[in-house]
Amino acid sequence: MPAEHMNRKIISESDPQNGREDIVHKVMEQQPDEEILYDLAELFKVFGDSTRIRILYAMFDNEMCVNDIAKLLNLSQSSVSHQLRILKSSKLVKFRRDGKSIYYSLDDEHVRAIISMGMEHVEE
């Protein structure tokens, strides 16, 4: 072990920066995989658009078909459909067909929980 290294280490130990380095390494090990954090961001991105939030809220207590939502929120059918596709692919909504209409609703309690939690933060 080289003398410089020994020396450097002793200096570091009395240097407050060294504690930081330890923490940085510890945190580095604790960080979830990039891939998971990417997916997590993608999930929140879906909630991060006011049109989609309004659509999700419209389905908070009731299932709604595309036309209902478009009328309710004064949006084009196309726009609603595009957004529902995004909500579907993120597994935030489920749907069932009944005749010509397709009824959408929130996929699970998680979705409601995330929205409610966000709402609490906003309403503070």
Q: How many CA atoms lie within 13 A of 88 on its CB side?
A: 13
Distance CA 95, CA 100 (A): 13
What residue 74 binds from a second copy, DNA, none (CB within 5 to 8 A, per partner kind)?
none
Instruction: Tell me which stretch binds a second copy (CB under 8 A): 5-13, 41-49, 76-84.
Output: 41-49
What residue 75 binds from a second copy, DNA, none (CB within 5 to 8 A, per partner kind)?
DNA
Of residues 17-36, those binding a second copy (CB under 8 A): 20, 23-24, 26-28, 30-32, 34, 36
| Helix H or strand E segment including 49 | none
9 or 91: whose CB is closer to a second copy? 91
* Beta strands, E only, 1-124: 64-65, 93-98, 101-106
